[in-house]
A and B are shown apart, each in its own frame.
Chain A
Amino acid sequence: MKITDLVEETYLALVSNKARSGLTILGIVIGIGSVIAMIAIGQGTQTSIKSSIESLGSNLVMVMPGAQRTAGSPVSSGRGSAQTLTVEDSNAIKDKISLAKGVAPVTSGRYQITAKGTNTNTQVVGTNAEYPAVKSVSVDQGTFFTDQQAKSGAKVAVLGPTTASDLFGSSSQPVGQTIKIKGMEFKVIGTTVTKGGSGFNNQDDMVYIPLAAAQRYFTGSEYISTINVQAVDEKSMAELQTQITALLLERHNISDATLADFSVMNQADIVASASAITGTLTLLLGAIAGISLVVGGIGIMNMMLTNVTERTREIGLRKAIGAKRREISLQFLAEAIMLTFLGGLIGITMGWLIALGVSHFANIATEVSLSSVALAFGVSALIGIIFGYYPAQRAAALNPIEALRYE
């Protein structure tokens, strides 16, 4: 039997029972479609989380205070609680480590802010002039404060777009106006471009003021909460991390690295751990969808078994006119594979459309990757072979005499 004949026989067999073939295909369509759609949603989420982390600044290393330990006491009050980092640490990094392209020390707190008749409560970030470059923040209107202003503690502020519209409305000009932070007057000299963040630590809902001013008027101490360091390039991030650790250990007179009173975090680590979470999510979604694929496969087996029983006499006849075992099993296998093949094609299209629909209507980023399409297709072909094999063997093993007599 030639391939063309096999395809023709298969086609005729499937067409002669359109309703049943259609329903069986539907099972596979749903399975493949949901696998494609779910993986698309998962991977889309992964990409958007990754890019939003990267939008916080590129090649970023963050130094945070470590746990507070009292001498002689084993009690730890938790990471970030200690006040161990100072502006001098920040300056030392800037001066002594050549891999550090930009260094932006930060001290922050939430305060009540008022303008003419409006008020809001938001994050106030005290930092230096390098902050926009290090954290990838761009100035929209006006300017960011200068190095000079940062050191002198000038009472100027740069507003995030959300804060600006909360205080001054979306249409008016905030630059040149005055705001009060905890009753202290600051002149607005600029606004930043929106970064599209939301929720906790929203970069659009912030007020930037000179570091010296923040320390002088609000925190009242020389300690800072974070030092953001930008590496010269991506390759040197790990090296930068080690150098910062070594430098700060030396400055803080700590000989045992495990007792460090600060921690140095690499942005790549954060991206990696976020990716791990979303990767698990993708896997979970894919696995749930995979179950429906298996159910679809069992549907195929069910249909093929019914088919073999129903067409027992036909099988008997084919054997009587000289069909070999292999030709019979090939024919039934081909039918199962054709069903999954068609189901797979339609399913991929459906899944892709669902993914498009989800990103369009539900505003969730989706990404149909070639690998997920290949995977779904491979799986559907495999299901055709696995679930088609048993019925095909049953058909091939029929005794022609009994098959011809079958009522």
Chain B
Amino acid sequence: MIDCKNLKKTYKNGDNETTVLKGVSFNIEAGEFVAIIGPSGSGKSTLMHILGALDKATSGDYFLDGKNMSTLSEDELAEIRKNKIGFVFQSFNLLPRATALRNVMLPLVYAGMPRSERAARARVALKNAGLDEKYYDRRSNQLSGGQMQRVAIARALVNDPSIILADEPTGNLDTKTGEIVLSTFQELNEKKHHTIILITHEHDVAEHADRIIFVRDGEIVEDKKNPRKILAGHINYND
């Protein structure tokens, strides 16, 4: 599904050239739950932007569902983001004055889905993200952090994307709420077979994934199956 070949990213700042990614190659199959972990400055955010079609690599190829992203225009990338990628951000990025339901419906507006179908789709997504029904019509700035992140997850799900990219999804949450959000991701992966890529700098968070890719100084230093998950035999011990 995702096929990265020798991805490089260089930022030019006057005469200074900073190479953030120094040739990264990996594959991710459909239905995988992958964590990309690395300290800040390792290039994991840049990698996430490229994987999320927000940015293009300076060189190398990134194939998503067989399509080479490096040749696409800005609008074509927007089209890819609309149909194939769902984002979950550290700071939620919800529209504060809109209801939870409306926030989830927003991608459907851009996708041009008929009005009548939107609410039903959004409700299913919110249910899958585990938000209690009584919060659907609550304005998002009246929700708790955990509830907001569930709304954000529902928004990422609603278009049924190929991959869900979660960028430090627990960064603004306390440990307990963070665990609940992460188990939501696990459930979506196991029960609904969504492909999830989790970007984090915390090992505890990365431990929830089936596969962990370590990034340091713009290179992949390790790419392994999660040993604890193998031992636990895919039993969710957080429940």
B119 at interface by CB-CB < 8 Å = no
Asked if A314 and B110 make an inter-chain contact with CB atoms under 8 angstroms apart, the answer reads no
A375 within 8 Å of B by Cβ?
Answer: no
Q: Tell me the bound Cα distance from A376 to B146 in angstroms.
A: 51
Q: Which residues of A contact B106 (CB under 8 A)?
A: 318, 321
Most chain B CB inside 10 Å of its own CB: which residue of A2, A320, A400: A320
- The reply to whether the CB of A166 lies closer than 8 angstroms to some CB of chain B is no
Mark each residue of chain A from 382 to 407: 1 if its CB lies under 8 Å from any CB of chain B, else 0. Answer: 00000000000000000011001000
Task: From A4-12, A54-62, A106-114, give the one contacting chain B.
Answer: A4-12
A401 vs B89: C-alpha distance when bound (angstroms): 12
**A317–B89 CA distance with the chains assembled, in angstroms:** 9
Interface membership of chain B positions 34-52, coded 1 if the CB is closer than 8 angstroms to chain A and 0 otherwise:
0000000000000001001
Q: Give the CA-CA distance A12 to B109 in the complex, in Å.
A: 14
Q: Does any Cβ of A come within 8 Å of B112's Cβ? A: yes
Contact A401 B78 (CB under 8 A): no
A:1-51 near B, CB below 8 Å = 1-2, 4-5, 9, 12, 16
Docked CA distance A319–B79 (Å): 10
Shortest beta-carbon distance, A307 to chain B, in Å? 14
Min C-beta distance of B239 to chain A, whole Å: 31
Q: Which of B82, B91, B95, B109 has most A Cβ within 10 Å?
A: B109
Q: Are A12's CB and B98's CB within 8 A?
A: yes
Inter-chain contacts of B177 with A (CB < 8 A): none
Closest residue of chain A to B93 (Cβ to Cβ) is: A317
In residues 47-93 of chain B, which contact A (Cβ within 8 Å)?
49, 52, 54-55, 74-75, 78-79, 81-83, 87, 89, 91, 93
Residues of chain B lying within 8 A (CB to CB) of residue A400 = 54
Interface residue A216 (Cβ < 8 Å from any Cβ of B): no
Q: 0/1 per residue, A246-285, Cβ < 8 Å to B? A: 0000000000000000000000000000000000000000
Rounded to whole angstroms, the CA-CA distance of A321 and B75 in the bound complex is: 12
- Known A321-B82, A322-B83; contact A327-B110, beta-carbon cutoff 8 A: yes
Which residues of A (293-313) have their CB < 8 Å from a CB of B?
313
Encode A310-343 as 1/0 by CB contact (under 8 A) with B.
0001101111111111110000000000000000
**Contact yes or no, A1 B82, CB < 8 A:** no
Residues of A within 8 A of B83 (CB): 322
Asked if B120 is at the interface (CB within 8 A of a chain A CB), the reply is no
CB of B107 within 8 Å of the partner chain:
yes
Inter-chain contact A314/B79, CB cutoff 8 Å: no
B89 touches A321 (CB 8 A): no
Is residue B234 within 8 Å, beta carbon to beta carbon, of the partner chain? Answer: no
Known contacts being A400-B54, A401-B49, is A322 close to B95, with CB within 8 Å? Answer: no
Known: A9-B109, A322-B110, A322-B111. A401 touches B81 (CB 8 A): no
Which residue of chain B lies nearest to A323 when distances are taken between CB atoms in the complex? B110
Contacts of B224 in A (CB 8 A): none
Q: Does B115 contact A (CB under 8 A)?
A: yes
Q: Judging by beta carbons under 8 Å apart, are B93 and A316 in contact?
A: yes
* B81/A321 in contact, CB under 8 A: yes
B81 x A325 contact (CB < 8 A): no
The answer to whether B75 and A401 touch across the interface, beta carbons within 8 angstroms, is no
Rounded to whole Å, the gap between the CB of B96 and the closest CB of chain A is 8
Question: A58 CB to closest chain B CB, in angstroms?
Answer: 64
* Contact residue among A12, A318, A325 (Cβ-Cβ distance under 8 Å from B75): A325
A313 to B83 alpha-carbon distance, docked (Å): 21
* A interface with B by C-beta (< 8 Å): 1-2, 4-5, 9, 12, 16, 313-314, 316-327, 400-401, 404
Q: Can you report 13 A-B residue pairs in the complex whose CB atoms are below 8 A from each other?
A: A1-B112, A9-B109, A12-B97, A317-B93, A318-B106, A321-B82, A321-B107, A322-B78, A322-B83, A323-B110, A324-B78, A400-B54, A401-B55
B residues sitting closer than 8 Å to A (CB atoms) are 49, 52, 54-55, 74-75, 78-79, 81-83, 87, 89, 91, 93, 95, 97-98, 106-107, 109-112, 115, 155
Contacts A1-B109, A320-B81, A322-B79 supplied; 18 other A-B pairs, CB < 8 Å = A1-B110, A2-B112, A9-B109, A314-B93, A316-B93, A317-B95, A319-B54, A320-B87, A321-B155, A323-B110, A324-B75, A324-B78, A325-B75, A325-B78, A326-B75, A401-B49, A401-B55, A404-B93
